[in-house]
Structure formats: structure tokens, C-alpha cells
Amino acid sequence: MIVAGNWKMYAGPDPAAVAARVGAIGGVDKIVCPPYTGLASCVAAGLATYAQNVHWENEGAYTGEISPRMLLDLGVAGSLVGHSERRQYFGETDAGVARRAKAALEAGLSVIACVGETQEQRDAGDTETVLRIQVDAIGDACGSHERLVLAYEPVWAIGTGLTATPEMVEEAHALIKSLLDVPVLYGGSVKPDNAEVLMGQPSVDGALVGGASLDVESFAAICEAAAR
């Protein structure tokens, strides 16, 4: 099981406190994804640390971006790519997400690549089509790479308090795994009180946690649920 905490554009909790609290929880890979300013302190605390995004070039005139090589030099282990907020607010495309994932993997980073449908797409009955397009783009670029993980995050459940039912989650995860043979995490308002039932679905390999990862005890409770 894998539990990754995405701190988004928040300073987040004290990395040393996180490490002390979750370090002894066995059977779970615990990952934190702080803002760029927090990467070094999370690495220093001994946490498995991922960036929230990564560019496909190792250097160049790409203002505001960060390269795989720069992350590796900091001791960072991996990166998110294609988070729904990157797609929604910054215009990231399926092709660009796949390109970022491929470059990161080739450089030696691990990757959590995010996929998921909007409310409008689900209401229109297009969930399967959207997921096939997004997953195929990543799969065509990366294949079933040993350091690649996907995260299914229905956009309508990100930061809204809405959560997909366990049945919805299992259906989507089973589809994704039929397209690409890699672990798949669920992301979308995961909290201590719903984590165990969501991660208990047969095709769910862990969770990508947003707001609940900003509190040490909340994040630890989700990690403990994963361990069970």
C-alpha cells in the first residue's frame, strides 16, 4: 500500500513531526509532496519526498519550472504529474503530462501520474472514455514502468468534500488497471473516516491525500488504515 500526502500550496506540517509519527507504521510506503520550498527539509527529515510537478527538460529557458536533475540533486525521490489542479488551472494536457512522466522516469525519479474525470464528463457518461484517453497517453509514453504509479482522482471530488462511493472507485480502478498494469491510488477527499473502506477495495493500492495530509495525526490515521 502507498499513501502520498499532497501539501499543495501550503507550508504543511513540521517534516520531523511527520517522520516521527509515521515512521513506525509498517506495510505502507509513506510519501509527502510539499511545495518546492519544503523539499529539502522533508528530505532532511528522512521522508520519501516527491515534488508536485516536474519539467521534461534537464535545463533550459523554462521560467518557473524545475527539472528532474534538479530534484535528484536535492535528494527528491519522485514527482506528481498531471494533478487535476495542474490540468484545470494551468492548461496541462494529456500529451504534456505523459512527456513529464516519461522524462522523470528516464532520469531516475519515481512518478505518480494523476487521471480523472470532471463532473460534467461523468454526468455525460464519458468517464470511461476520458480515463482511456488519459491512461493511454501515459501508457504509450512510459509503459508499465516499475517506478510508475497512477492516481485516480475524480475532479469533482477534489477539495469539494464529495467522495466517490467505494463502488465507483473500484469500477474506475479496475478499468485503469485493465489499461496499464501499475499500482493505482485513489485521491479525492480521502479522510481518516473513509480511508479504510476506500483502500479496502480490491483494485485500490493506496491513497493520494490532499487536505487531510496537512495534519500529522490525520495523515498518520490514514497510513494506519492502509496498514490494516
**Catalytically active residues, by annotation:** 83, 153
| The length of the chain, given as a count of residues | 228
With CA atoms as reference, report the closest residue to 226 among 207, 213, 211: 207
H or E stretch covering 194: helix 192-199
Q: Which residues of 109-143 are buried (b: 16+ CB within 10 A; e: fewer)?
A: bbbbbbbbbbeebbeeeebeebbbebbebbbebbe
For residue 171, the SS3 value is helix
Give the C-alpha separation, 217 to 228, whole Å.
17
Cα–Cα distances (Å) from 103 to 53, 91, 96, 100, 226, in that order, read 12, 19, 11, 5, 30
C-beta atoms surrounding 24 within 10 Å: 7
